Amino acid sequence: MSRTFVFGGARSGKSALAERLAQASGKEVIYLATSHAGDDEMAARIVRHQERRPPHWRTVEEATALAATLRRLCTPERIVLVDCLTLWLSNLMFSAHMDYPEVGPIDLTPLFTTERAELLDFLDEPAAGEVIFVSNEVGMGIVPYGAVSRAYADEAGRLNQDVAARCERVLFVAAGLPLALKGPSC
């Protein structure tokens, strides 16, 4: 069993690549969606992703309890595609619906701390099935303005590093082209 980490910038082609990898596995595919339609623009994005997927793929939506859901879904005869870790991260960071200061330190929610640790614990366990994780690379531009934006970029970078370290294959996608950073290429 294996774990693959596919990451890149916005509209880089990372989700499409992850979907092709899942399809090529020949296994039952479960699409584990971490986003929810908070506004019309996000709802339209979700619809575009849904229309691209084969109709026989099962979709499971989970905004926060990612590790518990993966433990339940992962089996040797299926592949789980998680799209995406950075939306999951924002769900955790903003789960308390609190106002963050423009300057100064950001206190992360207990849910963030617990769920992030649970995901890394899951990745440290022997693989019960194949998983493909999709994530955004948010740290290649300028340092964001505002404390919460910087905290998000920092946490996304830390999460990407921790997940990549635990996956057998890591692929970076730019302009629709994958670059194998670890393990086999496409």
179 closest CA partner among 170, 167, 2 = 170
Per-residue pLDDT reduced to its tens digit, 38-85:
778 877 877 887 888 899 999 999 999 999 999 999 999 999 999 999
The domains found in the chain, sorted by start residue, are: 3-182 (3.40.50.300)
Q: Is the pLDDT of residue 145 over 90?
A: no
159 closest CA partner among 21, 38, 67 = 67
Could you confirm whether 97 is annotated as catalytic?
no
Which of 36, 49, 56, 97 is labelled catalytic?
49
134 closest CA partner among 90, 106, 184, 170 = 170
User: What is the predicted pLDDT for the residue at 95?
Assistant: 86
Query: Helices 147-166 and 110-124 sit at what angle, rounded to 10 degrees?
Result: 20
pTM (2 d.p.):
0.93
165 closest CA partner among 127, 120, 135 = 120
Read off the pLDDT band of 172 (50, 70, 90): very high
Q: What value does the mean pLDDT of the chain take? A: 92
- Residue 164 CA from chain centroid, whole number: 11
| More reliable by pLDDT, 130 or 102 | 130
Read off the pLDDT band of 131 (50, 70, 90): very high
